[in-house]
Amino acid sequence: MKILSVEQIRALDQYTIEHEPIAPINLMERAAQAFVEWFTERFDTSRPVKIFCGLGNNGGDGLAIARLLIQLEYSVQAFIVRYAPRESEDCMHNHRRLKLLTTIGYIEQEKEMPVIRPNEIVIDAILGSGLSRPAEGIIRTVIEAMNFSPAMVISVDIASGLYSDAPTPLNAIAVEPDQTVTFQLPKLAFMQPSNSRFVGEWHSVDIGLSRTFIDRQKTPFYYTTEKEIRHLLRRRDRFAHKGTFGHALLLAGSYGKIGAAVLASRACLRSGVGLLTVHVPHCGYPILQTAVPEAMCLPDDNAEVLTGFSRVMGEDWGAYSAVGIGPGIGKFPETLGVVRNLLDRARKPVVIDADALNLLGENRDLLGKLPQNSILTPHPREFERLTRRWNNDYEKLTLLREFAKKHQVIVVLKGAHTAIALPDGSVHFNSTGNPGMSTGGSGDVLTGILTALLAQGYDPVEAAVLGVYQHGAAGDRAAQRFGQTAITAQDIAESLRWE
């Protein structure tokens, strides 16, 4: 699913109007109907509804929504926030239609703001995605009232005051909705951590905008859904055997952190790898052999840290279908040598996580040794160590794209809507996962998944997009079973499903 800019969405609307063809007011009606269908599936007529409308097309959407809900026998009060002398043509049309059904309230001064009660649902339709300056004056007053109210708030298309394609100014105000119902495609703003409270839980409703136009649009930003993932999953041949699905090598663990190796190994096996070898410090040998009997264990000569002095260094890295390194390895000088040796000798993409990333950040010369299409899986602090501090999420996104292009690697920047930056500069945001996955070991599980997919011959881009999606989906299954607060990394690994 593409994420388009405000300008592209505006052009998409116009293209649909001209080529369907459909009158602008009828397209607005279609959008309002889609919102109302979503709304009525979730809320019955027992809760009063207050709708705050602006003077542009977002306000026109709100007025049309008010009319449709009244016709469905909802108790609706509509208010127009008069922050300018004129309405858009389509807003004015819906204004006239609504006046035939009910009395409309008008807000020009603070004293005209109605009381919002706890049992009510508030619909925000004041400002749309074309915002160019911070909300001020009476708009700011209404937004503040909504934010301080105890009622549920739902924004139409985008929260009033939130910038769609750029950072919202620090001194600006925006509606803080419980839910946002957007039209057709998500906004880039929805993917940024700093906007979380201005988005809430978001939903996309189809309003029949031109697929032809969408398909032709170029954008660096995408949103991965289940539909795309189904096309990536491979069926297993009836006559396949363990050699068909690759031999993965994981380099993981140090004294006190062998659990990271165990979690990555279990996830790797749950993700379909044919054979798995795990290189751990000698202290991890009995643990791994007991906890993960399906894996072959290659103990390091050192009891507590990885040094690479074992049979693994006598073998060709190319003997393995894929290599993953980082979970629990620490930043010991000996372990830095292992990372350096791997990057000097690797001829295939590798998966790099955790302290292996931190070692790269402390030894920037190693970045030039990364095999093309390697997959790096930093959380934001680890990515900062690889690059520099950023001032806002959009600057971080620029840094992410530049890093992936410069080093020709795939960067999985973990978090809500994990951002996967590709060597061509495009970014795929993920749609699965939940806050319960913010727990120690979750990243180790992801490393195991990605290493398994590379070992099975998945293209690195496909492996990254598919692996991140399945990791989040497993977290969602674990949350359904245990609740978000109780999720452990082991729950995520055991909740993996590939059918």
The confidence score (pLDDT) of residue 174 equals 98
Strands 350-352 and 410-413: unpaired
Q: What are the tens digits of pLDDT across the range 145-154?
A: 999 999 999 9
Find the mean pLDDT for residues 269-294.
Answer: 97
Question: d(Cα 291, Cα 61) in Å, to the nearest integer?
Answer: 58
Mean pLDDT over each residue of the chain, to the nearest integer:
96
* CATH number of this structure's domain 228-494, picked from the four choices 3.40.1190.20, 3.20.20.70, 3.40.50.1980, 3.30.70.100: 3.40.1190.20
Q: Name the residue ranges covered by the structural domains of the chain.
A: 6-219, 228-494
Count other C-beta atoms under 10 Å from residue 301's C-beta: 12
Find the mean pLDDT for residues 214-242.
Answer: 95
The confidence score (pLDDT) of residue 132 equals 85
Question: What's 136's DSSP letter?
Answer: -
Confidence category of residue 319, pLDDT binned at 50, 70, 90 = confident
Cβ proximity of 84 and 49 under 8 Å:
no
Domains 6-219 and 228-494 share a fold: no
Find the mean pLDDT for residues 425-433.
Answer: 98
CA distances from 51 to 48, 74, 81, 233 (A): 10, 12, 10, 44
* CATH number of this structure's domain 6-219, picked from the four choices 3.40.50.880, 3.40.50.10260, 2.60.40.1180, 3.40.50.970: 3.40.50.10260
CA distances from 104 to 49, 61, 63, 372 (A): 13, 15, 10, 61
Find the mean pLDDT for residues 186-212.
Answer: 97
Confidence category of residue 309, pLDDT binned at 50, 70, 90 = confident
Q: What are the tens digits of pLDDT across the range 397-417?
A: 999 999 999 999 999 999 999
Specify the pTM: 0.96
Helices 24-42 and 6-19, packing angle to 10 deg: 110
CA distances from 406 to 348, 370, 423 (A): 18, 11, 8
CA distances from 408 to 349, 376, 461 (A): 11, 11, 12
Question: d(Cα 417, Cα 114) in Å, to the nearest integer?
Answer: 37
Q: What are the tens digits of pLDDT across the range 354-386?
A: 999 999 999 999 999 999 999 999 999 999 999
The confidence score (pLDDT) of residue 312 equals 57
CA distances from 437 to 226, 247, 411, 420, 472 (A): 19, 28, 19, 18, 8
Strands 419-421 and 410-413: antiparallel
Position with higher pLDDT, 130 vs 377: 377
- State yes or no: pLDDT of 314 exceeds 70: no
